[in-house]
Amino acid sequence: MELRTFNSAADVRDYISALVDEGLAYHFDDDPYDVFDDYALAGVIDFNTMQMRDYCEEHGIDSFEILVELAK
């Protein structure tokens, strides 16, 4: 997992898809440091998710809806 920036809805979808594909999907209200044992990984996921949430809030995107859709 790498640090990401979010400039489009496609970026959000790609990030959530990567989480699902890598078996790292989690509820975005949870603290990644509580969910993942790898501290460095948790830091990257925490940063990415905060950036994603800010982008989604500014653009009216429901990240949970995307997560549910992709996790099926």
Tens digit of pLDDT for each residue in 21-49?
Answer: 999 999 999 999 999 999 999 999 999 99
Whether 1 maps to a domain, the answer reads no
The fraction of the chain above a pLDDT of 90, given in percent, is: 99
pLDDT averaged over the chain?
96
pTM of the entire predicted model? 0.93
Q: Domain tally for the chain? A: 1
Q: Which domain holds residue 27?
A: 9-70
Whether 49 maps to a domain, the answer reads yes
Angstrom distance (rounded) from CA 63 to CA 20: 13
Would the pLDDT of 72 be above 90?
A: no
Burial class (CB in 10 A: 0-12, 13-18, 19+), 13: middle
Whether 60 maps to a domain, the answer reads yes
Q: What pLDDT, on the 0 to 100 scale, is given for residue 46? A: 97
Angstrom distance (rounded) from CA 10 to CA 39: 27
Angstrom distance (rounded) from CA 50 to CA 40: 16
The fraction of the chain above a pLDDT of 70, given in percent, is: 100
